[in-house]
Amino acid sequence: MVKIYTSPSCSSCRKVKKWFNDQKIPYIEKNIFVATLNEEELKDILKKSENGTEDIISSRSKIVKESGVDLESMTIKELIAFIRANPSVLKRPIMVDDRKIQVGYNPEDITVFIPQARRIADLACLECPKLDKCEHRKDEAI
């Protein structure tokens, strides 16, 4: 199941949720300001990010700028405590499933969350000579 970490005022978060709803892909939404991320969630996000803190923490965040923290010198435990105390430092939205992570809304990259079976069926439909009557896409407007 995909988890989407959001905040209420984030327009990219709304776009991501709309995309998942339009694609009929179930997800769990976690508002980072209401439900504090637990240590395991943050470890999972950090493990899956290619560039560590650079991928998930906004260096332009007011808290990062004003506090003068050196994120790179923090231990994992310190970093997790910092994020938990200051969730606004996280870039949003963050989408995570059991294998991958994506930060921000990118209409091309987000398609990695379409289940593989559906991608295969969609490709088969595109090659089908009866595209307009395809059984796999009967619920969608073509």
Q: Return the active site residues.
A: 10
Smallest CA-to-CA distance from 103 within 65, 34, 46 is with 46
Smallest CA-to-CA distance from 31 within 14, 11, 7 is with 7
Contacting residues for 48 by C-beta, under 8 A, at least 6 apart? 96, 99, 100, 101
Rounded-to-integer distance, Cα 79 and Cα 133, Å: 53
